[in-house]
């Protein structure tokens, strides 16, 4: 087996970690589940319901993530009504798939790339003057998408349908692996997850943590990790689980494994 018992720390939220853990285990690795983010609904769903019932006031509705789709649906009694006057966009293919699964049209999604920058580069968003956009996201997301659209003359509103919190879980299994130098790779898929990892382990454990190969999904997270003291950082080609696994395998073996299904 390619990973030969390597311990791989998976920091995805619990409800999003299963597939990556399964892929790691299929390749002979040991997936160490340690979610450093928990995604939960806001305290008050009424503003979300009101906004989703009045989408015809917008030209574009942009979903930032699959979580944005699913938590919007959850807050609005399991339905989001599409309207002919509104166009719907996704920042990446995973978000687009989540939209299709709940019956929403996907009028715009980057063919390559998986972030706001890739969406902004697409021709339909180049001429945004006078258009109204609604960005559906979690609390406290990145501002670049809205800032750029506004600079192009658009009006932009946010609908925040979930929030991120630090999970209350026992860190002792990870601390023990660190102390025994038996943790081989760490995977992190967001900047906040990386910050929380440091908070959840703390102190001398973070010194040991920085010595372990770290797999991230963007250059922005790589720069943050470097500033936090990590010096063995690999960036996967995309945030999808198969790409993360390929990068994990490279860290462990130094070799590409070939196509992984």
What is the per-residue pLDDT across 88-134, written as a single tens digit (0 to 9) for each? 999 998 899 999 999 999 999 998 777 888 899 999 999 999 999 99
pLDDT at 113: 73
pLDDT tier at 254, thresholds 50, 70, 90 = confident
CATH of the domain spanning 46-164 = 3.40.50.10090
Q: pTM score, two decimals?
A: 0.86
- Which part of the chain has CATH 3.40.50.10090? 7-37+167-253, 46-164
**Structure confidence at residue 204 (pLDDT):** 83
pLDDT band, residue 255 (cuts 50/70/90): low
**Per-position DSSP letters for the chain, written without gaps between them:** --STT-EEEE-S-GGG-HHHHHHHHHTT-EEEE----EEE--S--HHHHHHHTTGGG-SEEEE-SHHHHHHHHHHTTT-----TT-EEEESSHHHHHHHHHTT----B--SS--SHHHHHTSGGGT--TT-EEEEEEETT--SHHHHHHHHTT-EEEEEEEEEEE------HHHHHHHHTT---EEE--SHHHHHHHHHHH-HHHHHHHTTS-EEESSHHHHHHHHHTT---EEE-SSSSHHHHHHHHHHHHHSS------
Fold designation for 7-37+167-253: Rossmann fold (3.40.50)
Check whether 3 has a pLDDT greater than 50: yes
């Amino acid at each position: 087996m390619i990973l030969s018992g390597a311990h791989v720390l998976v920091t995805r939220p619990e409800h999003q970690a299963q597939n990556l853990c399964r892929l790691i285990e299929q390749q002979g690795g040991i997936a160490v589940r340690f979610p450093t983010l928990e995604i939960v609904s806001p305290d008050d769903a009424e503003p979300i319901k009101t906004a989703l019932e009045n989408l015809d006031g917008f030209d574009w509705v942009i979903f930032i993530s699959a979580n944005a789709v699913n938590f919007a649906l959850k807050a609005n009694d399991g339905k989001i009504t599409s309207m002919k006057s509104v166009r719907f966009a996704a920042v990446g293919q995973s978000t687009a798939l989540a939209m299709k699964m709940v019956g929403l049209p996907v009028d715009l999604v980057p063919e390559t790339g998986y972030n706001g920058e890739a969406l902004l580069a697409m021709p339909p968003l180049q001429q945004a003057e006078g258009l109204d956009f609604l960005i559906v996201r979690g609390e406290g997301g990145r501002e670049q998408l809205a800032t750029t659209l506004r600079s192009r003359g658009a009006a932009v509103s946010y609908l925040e349908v979930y929030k991120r919190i630090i999970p209350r879980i026992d860190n002792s299994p990870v601390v023990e692996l660190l102390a025994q130098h038996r943790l081989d790779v760490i995977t992190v898929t967001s900047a906040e997850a990386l910050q929380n990892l440091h908070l959840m382990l703390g102190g001398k454990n973070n010194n040991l943590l920085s010595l372990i190969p770290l797999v991230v999904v963007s250059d922005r997270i790589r720069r943050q990790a470097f500033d936090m003291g990590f010096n063995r950082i690999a960036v996967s080609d995309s945030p999808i689980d198969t790409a993360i696994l390929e990068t994990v395998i490279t860290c462990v073996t130094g070799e590409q494994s070939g196509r992984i299904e």
